[in-house]
Amino acid sequence: MEINTVGVIGAGQMGVGIAHVFAAAGYDVRLMDVAPAALSTAVARIDAAMDRQIGRGQMDAAGKAVALARIATAGDAEALGPCDLIIEAATEDEAVKRRIFESVAPFLAPHTLLTSNTSSISITRLASATDRPERFMGFHFMNPAPIMPLVELIRGIATDEATFETLRALVVRLGKTPASAEDFPAFIVNRILLPMINEAIYTLYEGVGTVEAIDTALRLGANHPMGPLQLADFIGLDTCLAIMHVLHDGLADTKYRPCPLLVKYVEAGWLGRKAKRGFYDYRGETPVPTR
């Protein structure tokens, strides 16, 4: 199947990054969100990100202008009707995602492929809320999508081979690398990454080390590009907690129990960079550890 027009649902961090990737690769993009404020800033965020690519020599000004012209924004699902591919990139909440798929169903063409950028939720269950489970897949971009080279491809129990092959080939055309994962909680990357982050939070909770000591130890001792607590803030502590709940509920193993300190931070609204406070306080010029 040929993909020409791509609909992205959700103008948050992931949706904006995915729209950027497709527009830069030559695809027409329709970026949809029910929040007008999110849409009003989305193209400006993509504009700024492309400027950074120009600064790194990865894009020129003419290419940027053409890419931005490929992006249209919309506040309702009907605008997604002509799309060949839909990528849902809303919050990591299964009920929200199901409502989204139900809302777009009446407007889709028979050939349209439906995908979710979920980082942990069952693809089979999400597909069951649609009218096309055989043309439904997990299509998980890493954050930030314009930079990270990996895309996880997750088949549900009903996904057909043509859908998988179409999306695998599409990932390659985007200049990224596909990794096929089975439909188990959190798939591959987050099945490994989030328990590590959760364990780092337990290490902080139990007083083994400070925020600064834990992040320094993993950067210099394990050669990680950023410490686990810094990474948790970047991902969003609410997203980290949601994924740990999926792992704990789906695998019924106590090793996936979310750390109480993670729960406390989320309850406080200290969600990381997007809230200006998490394991670091970002309200000043330099991030300061909060513990």
Active-site entry in 117, 120, 190, 198: 190
How far apart CA 48 and CA 56 sit, in angstroms, is 13
Give the CA distances from residue 56 to residues 49, 68, 277, in Å, rounded to whole numbers and listed in that order: 11, 18, 29
Q: Who contacts 114 (Cβ-Cβ below 8 Å, separation ≥6)?
A: 86, 88, 101, 104, 108, 127, 130, 132, 135, 136, 137
Active-site entry in 116, 119, 120, 122: 119
Q: Who contacts 6 (Cβ-Cβ below 8 Å, separation ≥6)?
A: 22, 27, 28, 29, 30, 83, 84, 85, 86, 87
Catalytic residue list contains 224? no
Active-site entry in 20, 116, 152, 198: 152
∠ CA(62), CA(65), CA(68), 5° rounding? 150
Give the CA distances from residue 97 to residues 102, 114, 150, in Å, rounded to whole numbers and listed in that order: 9, 12, 23
Residues placed in the known binding site: 10-15, 33, 92, 97, 119, 143, 274
Catalytic residue list contains 152? yes
Question: What is the DSSP code string of 19-85?
Answer: HHHHHHTT-EEEEE-S-HHHHHHHHHHHHHHHHHHHHTTS--HHHHHHHHHTEEEESSGGGGTT-SE
Residues placed in the known binding site for NAD(+): 10-15, 33, 92, 97, 119, 143, 274
Burial bucket for residue 103 (CB in 10 Å: 0-12, 13-18, 19+): middle
Catalytic residue list contains 161? no
Catalytic residue list contains 180? no
How many CA atoms lie within 13 Å of 220's alpha carbon, on the beta-carbon side? 6
Check if the beta carbon of residue 188 is closer than 8 Å to that of residue 177.
no
Residues noted as catalytic: 119, 140, 152, 190
